[in-house]
Each structure stands twice: as structure tokens, then as C-alpha cells.
Amino acid sequence: MNSASSSSGTLRSTGRPVRSQDLGYFSGRDALDWSFAALILIGGLFAFSRYGASMDGYEKGILVCAIPSLIALGWFWAPLRWLCAGVGAASLLAIGLYVQTPDAFGADLAAADKVFWLKYALSSQSAILWMSVLFYMATLFYWGGFFTKSGENSAAEAIGSRLTWGAVFMALVGTMVRWFESHQIAPDIGHIPVSNLYEVFVLFAWMTALFYLYYEAKFKTRALGAYVLLVISAAVSFLLWYTVAREAHEIQPLVPALQSWWMKIHVPANFVGYGTFALAAMVALAYLLKTASLRALSLGLIAMPLALIAMILAARFGADLPAETIAGLDGWARKMAGLLVFFVLAVALRSRLTARLPELSTLDDLMYKAIALGFAFFTIATILGAFWAAEAWGGYWSWDPKETWALIVWLNYAAWLHMRLMKGLRGAVSAWWALAGLVVTTFAFLGVNMFLSGLHSYGTL
């Protein structure tokens, strides 16, 4: 027997080395891959046995689909295995601590203020507060990396990356425990925590961070962490303000229109789009700081917050609004002024803030990949939303403000992708467009709730 047909399997009969893609999707898996798959399968079966009686047919179908999806994601990107295992273990620990102090319904939620680990780490609100702290710390370390003299990836940026992983972990633990907590209030209150502004801001924060961490590993650079964590920290700041101002962390019953299985797939798909669009915008900001002329940067970056301030002031003085709403708009105008100060500093420090950035071709490629992925999921979410609307309100499309602005977002990125794929759009124009897209997306996500009203106004400010 010659070497080409030996049992080692390293060569084909042609003498060509066997490549990994020739082995098939399953044949190249090692013991760790199959151990992870078994763990996810066991977890899914446990969920069926423990909570199956509380699920309807659609929810069981979603769980069935989630099992192979998580396995595939863990095989695709190894760090997700440890994240899944850690989140599962911490969530079960929190649930166990709750059920140790049962009340008439099941678990005593007052234990969140009595049991040490729940009070300071594992209750949903504690975990989400830890998420907030870790994201802020990660942002500081990533930005600190710009002011060190070490190589391309500094020690400060490495710490920032680990802190970001920790923030994602705590966000997911908080989400899973909040899901459990909602079911302990009353049978008709329990729901997946993606139903209001507080819950979806948590979703946005961890999902955007997770996409960034993947691209950080794929492109082997941590220099973009400062830019991406900036928009996540802004979301966390809003989340904390919203918690204090509106006590938004309190779990509320779902309004009738949200009592649908469509919510469980429509909202997460939507926020894949929001998260990756935000990521692309911050990459675009890095691209422009590295390449654009001082005049173009000054005009473009300063004009954006000035335009937002003008929009807010127009709403402030253009209608007869309650005093509380006027005070809120004045507060947002001051926040936009703070954004203006940040842009001025970014332009002034551009040489320091761009010294570690990867090549322009890498930034351009990352921007494209993020927008393409987000557009695909946003398209799916829009279609799912139309089906949900037909079930809830009797029509697929009603030109509600949220629907209208979702269409504007979709058309904006559809045009961006068309110009790139058909006309070869690259460079500064592409980056400016992606950055401006964040303004459009933010208004669709948040501005509609601030200034407009409609069928989708579930989380008013």
C-alpha cells in the first residue's frame, strides 16, 4: 500500500494533502466540539423537562431551533462555548438561590435583597449594573491604549477586551435571570426580556459588544474597541438614566399586542441590525479620523450634533408641550452639546487616536461586513414584523411612525450596499454615509419614542 492510500489519511490518491474543508462539517470535530454539543443538548432537554409545561407550541419550536443554532455558533467561534457554559451555570445558580426561599407562587423575589450573591451579583438588576460598570471600565482601558507606547495591541487594550467579555457575560446572566424573575410574579406576566426600552438597551449593549469581539478576533486588532465601546457606553448611560428617571427596571406585564411569539424572534433580529449598524458607524468614524482632511472633519463631525440640536430645539419650540417633555428635550440638547465637545477633541487628537488603527482596507472591509450582516437581519426582522402586525392589528403595514422609519433605515442601507456592490463605492464617501446612517438608525430606534407616537410606543420617555 502506498502513502497515498495509507490509513493516516493525510493524502488523497492524487497525492494532494487533505484540506479541512474536504473532511466535511462533522468529521473534523474534536472531543471538545462534541462535549459542547452534548452540553447544549442536555441543557435543552432540561429546559423542556423543567419549563415545558409553561411553553406553547411556538415556544417549544423556538427552543428546538435554538439547540442546533447554539451548537453551530459554538463550533463556528470557540469563545462562545465558554460564554454559554458560564452564563448557563451562573443563571442556574441564581435560580437555585431564589428557589431556596420559596413563597406561595414559587420563588420569593424578595430574596434579591436578602441573599448575598443575589443582592450583589446575580439578581437581574445587580447583574445589569455590573454590566454597566464593566462596559465603562472597558471603554476607559481601550481609550487608555491610545496613550501608551507599546506595540499595535497594548496591555490596556487587552484588559479592555477582557472587561468587555465580562460585561457581555453579566448582561446575559441579567437577561436570563430577569426572564426567570418575570415568571415568578404571576403566570401571565412572565416573558422574554425584550419588550421595552430598558430590556432592549441591555440587548443592544451585549449584542453590539459581542459582534465587536468577534471582529476584534477576526481582524486581530483591538484598536477599534475605543470607538465601538463609545456607542455602547452611550447606550449604557441612557439605560442608567432611564432606570433612575422612570424606574424602568421594574418588570411590567406585556400589553396585549406584545403577547405574541413573534416578539421572541422579531426583536432580536432587529437588534442584530441595530448593533451591527452602530458598529459600522464607529468604524466609519475611525476611518474618517484617519483619512479625511481637517476641514472636512471639522465641518462634518461638528455639523452632525448641531443638526441634532436643531431638531431637538425645533421640537422644543414648535409645539405646545408639557413642562416635563420640555425639560427632557432641554436635557437632550445639552447631551448633544457634549457630543459636539467630544468630536472637537477627537479632531484635535486625531494623530494619537489613529496611530494604532489597522489599514484602511481592513476598516473598509469590516464596515462592509457589518452593514451586510445587519441589513440581512434587519430585512428578516422587517418581514417578521409585517406578519406580527397582521396578527395583532389586522394589516401587514399601517405607515405607523416606527414602521415608516424602519423603512427609511432599510432603504438607507439598501442604497449603501447597492452603491458599493454595483458602483464600487469606497473611501470617505462610504464612511460618511455609514456614520450618517447611525443618526437615521438612532432616530428610528429611539427618536420615534421621544417625539412621535403610534402603535409601537411601548417605551415612552
- Picking from 220, 222, 236, the residue whose alpha carbon sits closest to that of residue 146 is 222
| pTM, two decimal places | 0.87
The grid coordinates of residue 230 equal 463609545
Q: Which amino acid is at 39?
A: L
Whether residue 295 has pLDDT greater than 80: no
Local confidence band at 26 (pLDDT 50, 70, 90 cut-offs): confident
What's the sign of the alpha-carbon dihedral 11, 17, 22, 23? positive
The winner for highest mean pLDDT among 51-60, 151-160, 234-243 is: 234-243
Chain mean pLDDT for the chain: 83
CB neighbour list of residue 427: distance below 8 Å, 6 or more residues apart: 291, 364
Query: 64 or 148: whose pLDDT is higher?
Result: 64
pLDDT score recorded for residue 205? 96
Q: What was the pLDDT predicted at 124? A: 94
Could you tell me if 252 and 181 are in contact, meaning their C-beta atoms sit under 8 angstroms apart?
Answer: no
Note the pLDDT of residue 443. 83
Per-residue pLDDT reduced to its tens digit, 37-51: 999 999 999 988 888
Counting beta carbons within 10 angstroms of the beta carbon of residue 437, is it exposed (0 to 12), middle (13 to 18) or buried (19 or more)?
A: buried
- In whole angstroms, give the CA distance from residue 241 to residue 230: 17
pLDDT band at 23; cut points 50, 70, 90: low
CA distance 392 to 269: 19
Q: What's the pLDDT at 190?
A: 81
C-alpha cell of 228? Answer: 465601538
pLDDT of residue 69: 93
What confidence score (pLDDT) does residue 332 get?
A: 62
Across 96-105, 236-245, 311-320, 354-363, least confident range:
311-320
Contact of 129 with 202, CB cutoff 8 Å = no
Share of the chain above pLDDT 70, in %: 80
> Helices 401-423 and 360-393 meet at what angle, rounded to 10?
140
Among 456, 185, 100, residue whose Cα is nearest residue 448: 456
